[in-house]
Amino acid sequence: MPIARLQPQEQTAPGYSEFLAALREAGFDGEIDAGAAQRTVLATDNSIYQRRPQAAVFPCHAQDVQCVLALLAEPRFAGVALAARGGGTGTNGQSLTDGIVLDLSRHMHRILEIDVQGRWARVQAGVVKDQLNAALAP
């Protein structure tokens, strides 16, 4: 199987612009970016693979994530693909998609609770290990 790489000319696939418009209409508070620059940035991760997404959405809170998933569950958007992304440090292309990137690192990166005695922490999905380690250092 050849290594996936970006094609020079790509157009937005059918169904994706309709999904993004419906997402905004459904009350999504986060950012939606279908621009070429953002799509190119998110086309790579820490792997050798490349996949240019149709767009990226940056939820502000859990309700935004619920909004995205509820819309994806509708039959009219059955062909829309989505991949969640944190820091893009995966080495096997896990966060890459030809569909929509759900980037959780821009706004959902708070450490909610740390229980030192119980040795656990509750964090939002965009928290990265270095951030958590820094909070645990004291």
Query: What is the distance between the terminal CA atoms of the chain, rounded to a whole angstrom?
Result: 48
What per-residue confidence (pLDDT) applies to 43? Answer: 93
What per-residue confidence (pLDDT) applies to 84? Answer: 94
What per-residue confidence (pLDDT) applies to 8? Answer: 58
Tokens of 134: 């820094």
The β-bridge partners of 32 are 57
Asked if 126 and 108 touch (Cβ cutoff 8 Å), the reply is yes
Tell me the HSE value of 46 on the side-chain side, using a 13 A CA sphere: 7
Tokens of 111: 């450490």
Backbone angles phi, psi at 77, to 5 degrees: -110, 25
**Which pLDDT tens digit goes with each residue over 89-108?**
778 888 899 999 999 999 99
